[in-house]
Structure 1
Amino acid sequence: MSFEVIVIGGNFAGLSAAMQLARARRRVLLVDAGAPRNRFSQASHGFLGQDGQTPAAIMREGKRQLSLYPTVAIRDGKVIQAVADGGEFAVRMDDGGEERAARIVLATGISDTLPEIPGLRERWGRSVLHCPYCHGYEVSGGALGVLATLPLSSHAALLLPDWGETTYFTQALFEPDNDQLTQMTARSVRIERSPIVELLGDNPKLEAVRLADGRVVPLDAVFVAAKTAMASPIAEQLGCAFDDGPLGPVIRTGDNKETTVKGVFAAGDAANAMHNATLASASGVLAGVHCHQSLVMQTAQQAVLPRTFRRQI
């Protein structure tokens, strides 16, 4: 076995996990398909020490630093299959190659499913945004909208007035209840019940939205909670359990980031209900640290077992 750990995914979570293992001098393979969820964003914000850097630049520097460790290999490619095999894991890549390791860290990420509204998809990550903490400051002072996609959208509408004048678009589907309406009124949130049918402006800039009743409402940015799905089938292939998150499935992990499959750890958006660059990186650190400790404890227990067996004889 040439590697002790295979980390699948090279975004913030995967790089952070691999770094901990590299510094523990473990043999690590990082496999990165090169299609991170944040590839549509111009900059990463709120990430201490990296505020304003492009996600691509952060990942590029992370890989450069990781490559300085002699026990690390980095491979560009997509993992298409992973199976448990004789106390190890066999991982097959799209180029036909196969590697084996005692542990796997899944940092496979998630994919976003956006509402089918003309002009929305091409502005994703620019003027159509998912997180006010990540992007609110850059559009502050403007006319902001929340496009409701689920009941939780009302929570975003309560937050956004700290960044700008806010309109909550119910899409004729997610009407606020009496308590929510009272709270929105207290926060000066405007309620618009006619659905958005088109986004207008010189892409990627947003200037206004067209409503189903024909009106045009000026907007500088719109926030939308996209429904999410696993970006990779690997966790399901391995038999990992999932929980229902607010936006989609989440890989179930314990506090140590180990999944329900022994030896498989998970980090990042695929294993976090809350999605944020710092949280993804932090969960990667936890996964890497606990993955290393599981290797240590396995070796220690194997050393103890023969002595215990001899005492029993």
Structure 2
Amino acid sequence: MSIYKLYINFIKDAVSSLLVFIGDFMEVAWGWEIALALFFGGLGGGAFIIAVVTSILTSERYKEIIKFGNYIGVVSAILCIIFFALDAGRPERAMFLYSNLPTSMISVGTTILSTIIPLGIIYVSYHPPEALPFAEIIKKWFFWTRSTKLRRLIEIILFFIACGLVGYTSFVLGVIRAKPFWHTPLLVLVFFSSGISTGLMAIGFLSSFLYPIVKEGAPKKIIIEILHKLDTADAYMLTIELGAIISYVFGTYYGIPIVAPRNPAATASAAALLYGELSLIFWLLVITIGLVIPLMGCILLAWMGRTIRFVKWYPIVIAILALCVLIGGIFMRYSIVIAGQLI
């Protein structure tokens, strides 16, 4: 094939990807609303998991991780249920999302969200924003904040519900047997690892803004240590996610039995990601910007980010990498949701 034909094909794929991106390529039942609902569900659940695990393992040593994980978890869970309601077409009729329990996965997800939001708000009361003028009043009047045993019980319950929320974001697709591209256990690993990864980087993004605010000395060292813990953990999660999504897409495309049985519709959906209408979004926004660049950045930071020469750049680099991971997480879900509906 000549260079000219390759160039023309690239332009065609780029235009097709742009049309899919702006939503004019074709009518699909699930679009941006569902993709964003799945993203915020995974992000919120992942942030809660990180906050709880950090609290159990380190107590109050890294309380900034716990606080930001709580805040992100609550806000993301609320945004998740809002986007599910928007997809339903009538946000004011959000209560109807509960009407098909337990047969509808949307209703199951709404129930999980309705449980995790108030529980998350209760957990937030253990670490209210210190800038609030009534932060001390919250600690004084909310009696449960003085009970360590009750806090541990809340954390355990919250952990399992958060795991259910992150897992649900893949189950809601996987149970639809009419869409074979989604019907594989690897999708659970892709979405779960992405939920933890985006949670880590969202916490890292907020934590990076603390560095120029806190005083010199020990407080700054703590912030750098927090950022180091987050980027090291995310390097592992990005590696798992990258391996999972490559295995998922190529395994579905070639019909590898351990991934998914060969199915023409699933193969066509995978082809749309690999070299078709969604290829530009998949390779550029998901793989390159969302996974490869952040993974390389996290490895670089873990290796030499805390050296005297580079430490002042640590928060800025983390913030940039966090934005890449979050953008990649959004488009990963969007491309998978759309690809599964193209056939």
Give yes or no for TM over 0.5.
no
Structure having the higher helix fraction is 2
Q: Give the alignment's TM-score, normalised by structure 2.
A: 0.27
Structure having the higher strand fraction is 1
Question: Could you say which structure has the larger radius of gyration?
Answer: 1
